[in-house]
Amino acid sequence: MSRNLRGDMPQRKSDEFLSRRRLFKRTGLLIAAAALHPAGRAWAAMAGLPDDILGDDDLPSDVRAPGVSPMMAKLSAYMSAAAGRALPEEVAEKAKQHTLDTLAAMISGSELPPGQAALKFARAYGGNQVATVAASNILCGPIEAALTNGMLAHSDETDDSHAPSQSHPGCAVVPAALAAAEQFGIDGMHFVRAVTLGYDVGPRVTMTLGAEPYENASHRSTHSIATTFGAAAAAGCAAGLNTRQMRWLLNYAGEQSSGLALWNRDTDHIEKAFDFAGGPARNGVTAAMVVHSGWTGLDDVFSGPDNFFMAFGPQADPNGLIDKLGERYEVARTDIKKWSAGMPIQAPLDAVENMQKQHQLAAEQVKEVSVRLAPQEASIVDNREIPDICLQHIIAVMLIDKTVSFRSAHDKRRMQDPEVLRQRAKVRLLPDEELGRLMPRRQSIVDITLVDGTTLHEHVDSVRGTAFNPMTSDEVRAKARDLMTPVLGQASTSKLIEQIFGLEKVTDIRELRPLLQKV
């Protein structure tokens, strides 16, 4: 038997086959099941179907694809069924929170230099007017919109972070899902499922490679690799790709995997925004669009000669890509930052805030602030040129203002303010090997010595906003308002927040456009 490009099953006269066909249609899994490896009974169980629903005779020889590993069979079938698979309520809620958090990062990022550079690009090379560019009046082709919105989303350190994979998933996954969703006019829950799938697929790639130790040893950017695969998965789900097309999608994501750890040397945050978000979002939408248009590819980028893992991590076990897939949702393990600053600064800010509340501290009472962080975190934020990733500067602002807002974290002029410099001179950053051994769980120990000799001590072992100490929905909303209101205004901000938390009522994702843009 043969199959056309879209993966449709050929007709058979058997009544048994027709009854099975009707069952698959009812469950939305016909195409997914058609492209399964012969070891499909485990798949049926995973998809919630009877374990005898698939037999080898149901699968055409070209669909069985003997070169496809069981891991790839499972992964690609899971991905193709994601658009119609119901999510646990708490997972859907998390996906909405991370969608809002990323949209807020995009909108606030439009006023920062990387965002301004991205908008300039979009105006010059926008393509067809299909997809929304946030915080502007620009419409672009989906590939250009994904790149631009990705750059906006990581114009600073406001976006989310996934510690186990050493990546920032949302800043690429959400822009890619949004661009593809607008291309195909999908509804709100389809969009939520696409976003959730992106978080599930992308981070598992770099977790499988080894996350931060892998980045340190290879000098590759896990932030770019994870988000390229995550963006591709989200865009592929929005495009409604079938199982074999999902395998080709992963093939093209693998071909585009890139990124160098030298992003650490970028002092303008523009290359960093491209590495973490703009490039990967573009890559993911490109992969989805070329496959949807009819391109074919290899059936398994993760096995066989010259495969992805042979090139990127020969010691890795590819089965990590399906570890607890459908059971452990990575969006629920992704951190939302309470503070608009680099992730390593979150715990120290929590600690200083706790001490300020307990002791009513004023900056002039403080003689010295000692901050201990894991060495790998300390190196990222130690006396950096960019305000929102410079620990000493942000702690000084916190001592003076008793909080850190989006505006204060990005006011580069304050890095030269005499009062800020005076407080900054009090701050010492100490790498702590013991805290390093606790990574990826981020912790910090802060000691404040007062001018009267009193010493205050605070150990933060669960940063607010992490999976260990998550923010409430109200806190996520409050953060989004702080970021979006100065750009969109209060009315549009409130409406957008309510739309995101009511995505199940949205029949076409393009309904969000008037709220995302400004005239």
Question: Quick one: how far is CA 106 from the chain centroid?
Answer: 13
Is the model's pLDDT at 209 over the cut of 60?
yes
511 domain-assigned: no
Is residue 478 one of the residues assigned to a domain?
no
Residue 286 in contact with residue 39, Cβ under 8 Å? no
Are 272 and 396 found together in one domain?
no
355 and 411 share a domain?
yes
Residue 138 lies in a domain: yes
Same domain, 48 and 187: no
pLDDT of residue 39 exceeding 60, the answer is: no
Picking from 269, 298, 327, the residue at the C-terminal end of a domain is 298
Contacts of 192 (CB under 8 A, 6+ apart): 87, 92, 95, 96, 99, 503, 504
Q: Can you give the CATH number for the domain in which 259 is found?
A: 1.10.4100.10
Convert the pLDDT of each residue in 118-151 to its tens digit: 999 999 998 899 999 999 999 999 999 999 999 9
Top-confidence residue, 53 or 325: 325
- Element (DSSP H or E) covering residue 428: strand 427-431
Last residue of a domain, one of 298, 326, 353: 298
Whether residue 305 lies inside any domain: the answer is no
What is the mean predicted confidence (pLDDT) over 73-89?
98
Residue-range definition of the domain harbouring residue 47 = 15-64
Q: What is the pLDDT of residues 57-74, one digit of tens each?
A: 333 333 446 689 999 999
Q: Exposure pattern of 430-457 as b/e (b: 16+ CB <10 Å)?
A: eebeebeeebbebbbbbbbeeeeeeebe
In a domain, 490, yes or no: no
User: Which of 268, 283, 298 is the endpoint of a domain?
Assistant: 298
Same domain, 60 and 110: no
**Of 17-21, 268-272, 302-306, 360-364, which gets the smallest average pLDDT?**
17-21
For residue 325, being part of any structural domain is answered with no
Does residue 172 share a domain with residue 202?
Answer: yes
Same domain, yes or no: 231 and 108: yes
Q: What is d(CA 95, CA 196) in angstroms, rounded to the nearest whole number? A: 6
pLDDT of residue 31 exceeding 90: no
- Together in a domain, 183 and 294: yes
Q: 107 and 210 share a domain? A: yes
Domain co-membership, 60 together with 87: no
Q: Residues 47, 177: one domain?
A: no
Is position 41 within any domain? yes
Q: Token digits for 216?
A: 């340190």
- Alpha helices per DSSP H over 137-187: 142-153, 170-184
Q: Is there a domain that residue 32 lies in?
A: yes
Is residue 220 located within the same domain as residue 366?
no
Query: Based on the domain organization, do 60 and 94 belong to the same domain?
Result: no
- Average confidence (pLDDT) over 498-514: 98
Helices (H), 13-81: 15-27, 30-34, 41-46, 61-64, 70-81
Structure tokens at 152: 């906006």
Looking at residue 65, what is its pLDDT? 67
pTM score, whole prediction: 0.84
- Total count of domains within the chain: 3
